[in-house]
Amino acid sequence: MHSDQFLVDPNNVTPTIGIVLKGYPRLSESFIAQEILALQRRGFRLHLISLRHPYDPSIHPIHAAITAPLTYLPEYLHQDPRRVIHAWWRIRRRPGYILARNLWFADLWRDPSRNRIRRFGQALILADELADKLSHLHAHFLHTPASVARYCSIMTGIPWSCSAHAKDIWTTDAWDIREKLQHCEWLVTCTQANLEHLQLLTPDREKVIRVYHGIDFERFPPPITAGSDADGSTDDRAVRLLSVGRAVQKKGYIDLLDALAQLPPELHWNFDHIGGGELLSQLRQQCDRLGLSARVRWLGAQPQPAVIDAYRTADIFVLSSRIGDDGDRDGLPNVLMEAQSQKLSCIATDVSGIPELIEHDITGMLVTPQDRGALTNTIAEMITNPTRRHRLGEAGFARVHKYFAMDRGIDALQQRFSTQLERLDVNREAVAK
């Protein structure tokens, strides 16, 4: 796919990986920041490329620790037309430009959207401004970032790889995924369910590998004290329920509020939600309709220290994930691993990769998505049974430490990136000779 005549600039003696991100920094994507920081600490030289500017009101401490340079591409091409035109004028003479343009035209025919046009324009700018500084591109998410990385790769000959997560897999057309898998060097994804789905879309099944994000236990040290013995019998023994996640359809908060409304009236509990999202206003209205407002707090997006405090003061973590109308679904939500790292008992649904983490009635409780009756009954039983909560919390803590430590995933990525950069060194030496 990549011609040695323009694979890498022989003067670029320090291998640099360009990380293509949809937006940076983002509070909801701390798992990506965790990975970037870990790669930085292992000695990789990185350059972050963001397709959008940040919109969160704050950042996590982990973002402040990342020192890699950051370049923003124009989110909308009309905002910076001179930058786009200048990039096109220079890149049109590249050996790979005609091929990239023709492939983009074919994509645009099947996906005649403004987003598809924007991806090509962003790829032109990336190729023009950073190609001579980069040795490899790695896109986080298989939809927009991977499209930009792919077009840029074809224009410049810089090899690329991808991390695929959740929505980007299940809402991207199969033809688009197939062609990206054909062109990329390799792809990692974070659940077995994702792996099996993606491997069906490529004849080269070994190109797709499973790498769990895992937990950085330095950022999520064990709690000092165990959870409370509250059993919901009185106001001063009210049980604290918590959920962390964006207010979008696939998180199932509509189902969760309906389930909470059906809890026996004699039970005492309260519920906190952390996260932003497009459905927050709708959920607040639903909460008012159901008469839950006195028991529910909507805390919005929060930085990591506040989230950890919330885990440590809660009794039960609930995430009622479902498959959205557009096919979107969770992969393996990092918030479940974070909650278990704090010995917090978890109730979740058996959708997508969640059963890879939570073993029903061993390390947590699983219910069928959208089964609000089962969710109500499970929450009620957990409220009244602190002994069971403690048992599940301890078992979840042990499992997440045994199988979902961040270092395992970073080891796998380090091996992939190192192999890729070693190949580039060989090519560089060949070009120099």
**367 pLDDT band (50/70/90 cuts)?**
very high
Residue numbers of the domain that contains 32: 4-214+405-432
- Considering the domain architecture, whether residues 33 and 88 belong to the same structural domain is answered as yes
In a domain, residue 223? The reply is no
pLDDT at residue 423 in the model: 80
Instruction: Reply yes or no on whether the pLDDT at 6 is more than 50.
Output: no
CATH number at residue 396: 3.40.50.2000
pLDDT bracket for residue 56 (50, 70, 90): confident
Interatomic CA distance for residues 281 and 98, integer angstroms: 47
Strands 136-140 and 70-72: unpaired
Give the model confidence (pLDDT) of 125-172 as tens digits: 999 999 999 999 999 999 999 999 999 999 999 999 999 999 999 999
- pLDDT for 248 equals 96
What's the average model confidence in pLDDT over 423-429? 60
Q: Is 239 helix (H, G, I), strand (E, B) or coil?
A: strand
357 falls within a domain = yes
Residues 132 and 205 in one domain: yes
Classify 245 in phi/psi space as left (phi over 0), alpha (psi -120 to 50) or beta. Answer: left
Which helix (DSSP H) or strand (DSSP E) does residue 347 occupy? strand 345-349
> Does residue 422 share a domain with residue 358?
no
Contact present, 242 and 316 (Cβ < 8 Å): yes
Percent over 90 (pLDDT), the chain: 88
Shared-domain flag, residues 176 and 252:
no
Instruction: Give the full edge-to-edge strand order of the sheet including 136-140.
Output: 70-72, 45-50, 16-21, 136-140, 160-164, 187-189, 208-210
State mean pLDDT over 421-428. Answer: 69
Cα angle 344, 230, 280 (rounded to 5 degrees) comes to 60
Q: Which residues contact 231 (CB under 8 A, 6 or more apart)?
A: 237, 239, 383, 384, 385, 386
Q: Are 121 and 185 in contact (CB under 8 A)?
A: no
Residue 284 sits in the same domain as residue 388: yes
Distances (CA, A) of 88 to 5, 94, 107, 344: 21, 10, 19, 53
For 231, other C-beta atoms within 10 Å of its C-beta total 18
- Position 212, amino acid: Y
- How confident is the model at residue 3, as a pLDDT? 31
| Residue 158 belongs to a domain | yes
pLDDT score recorded for residue 14: 76
For the segment 272-298, the average pLDDT, to the nearest whole number, is: 97
Averaged pLDDT for residues 333-341: 96
> Do 155 and 256 sit in the same domain of this protein?
no
Please tell me the predicted confidence (pLDDT) of residue 239: 98
Same domain, yes or no: 104 and 52:
yes
Lowest mean pLDDT among 1-10, 42-51, 253-262, 281-290: 1-10
- Determine, yes or no, domain membership for 305: yes
Question: In total, how many domains does the chain have?
Answer: 2
The distance of Cα 224 from the centroid of its chain, to the nearest Å, equals 29
Query: Has residue 77 been placed in a domain?
Result: yes
Give domain status of residue 224, yes or no.
no
Answer yes or no: are the C-beta atoms of 263 and 234 closer than 8 Å.
Answer: no
pLDDT tops 80 at residue 7 = no
Q: Are residues 64 and 145 in the same domain?
A: yes
* Cα–Cα distance, 325 to 248 (Å, whole number): 11
- Cβ–Cβ under 8 Å, residues 407 and 414: no
d(CA 111, CA 148): 15
Q: Kindly state whether residues 271 and 346 are assigned to the same domain.
A: yes
Q: How much of the chain exceeds pLDDT 70, in percent?
A: 95
Say if residue 245 is in the same domain as residue 394.
yes
Look at residue 425 in the predicted model and tell me its pLDDT.
62
H helices within 78-210, ranges in order?
A: 81-91, 97-110, 114-130, 144-156, 167-170, 174-183, 192-199
* Whether 188 and 249 share a structural domain: no
Looking at residue 59, its pLDDT comes to: 87
Q: Of the given ranges (21-30, 39-48, 64-73, 344-353), which has the lowest mean pLDDT?
A: 21-30
Which residues are bridge partners to 271 per DSSP?
241, 296
Segment (H or E) for 160: strand 160-164
pLDDT in tens, 199-213: 999 999 999 999 998
What is the pLDDT confidence band of residue 224, given thresholds at 50, 70 and 90?
A: confident
Residue 317: pLDDT over 50: yes
Residue 47 has pLDDT above 50, yes or no: yes
146 assigned to some structural domain: yes
Average pLDDT of the residues in 400-417: 95
Instruction: Choose among 147, 118, 128, 135: nearest CA to 47.
Output: 135
Q: What mean pLDDT is reported for the chain?
A: 93
User: Is 226 within the bounds of a domain?
Assistant: no
Whether the per-residue pLDDT at 15 is higher than 50: the answer is yes
Any bridge partners for residue 359, and if so which? none
pLDDT score recorded for residue 9: 45
Least trusted range by pLDDT, from 61-70, 137-146, 328-337, 423-432: 423-432
CA atoms within 13 A on the CB side of 244: 27
Beta-bridged to residue 242, according to DSSP, are 272, 317
pLDDT of 409 above 70: yes
Same domain? For 375 and 414 the reply is no
